[in-house]
Amino acid sequence: MATGSIRDLLWLLAVLCGWLAIIALAGGWYARKKFHGFLKAPLSEEVERQTNVWEARVSRWTILGSFMSGLSLLCLVAWIISGRLVQ
């Protein structure tokens, strides 16, 4: 595999993971808003179940968004380093 195509792949992964991170963090923000809405609702069995569901979604989306952000930065750094090595 040529060095140029590896650089292109790293750039593509960095951009793709960056956009996926934004989408995942937006999903985490939405889940947090729903979770806080359920916390303000009168307590019932259904509200308690939904509160637990949305609480789990908050952490899941936030962890996924953070992971994708880190992966995007890692690909970006590898892209920059591979550009320096080729020159």
20 lies in a domain? no
16 lies in a domain? no
User: Can you list the alpha helix ranges (DSSP code H) found in the chain?
Assistant: 3-40, 45-86
Q: Where in the sequence is the domain holding 78, given as residue range(s)?
A: 25-86
5 lies in a domain? no
19 lies in a domain? no
11 lies in a domain? no
14 lies in a domain? no
Give the per-residue pLDDT at 17: 97
DSSP 42: P
pLDDT digits (tens, 9 = 90+) for 19-30: 999 999 999 999
Tally of structural domains, the chain:
1
pLDDT at 1 over 80: no
Return the percentage of the chain with pLDDT > 70, whole number: 94
Q: What is the rounded CA–CA span in Å between residue 53 and residue 73?
A: 31
pLDDT digits (tens, 9 = 90+) for 49-86: 999 999 999 999 999 999 999 999 999 999 999 888 87
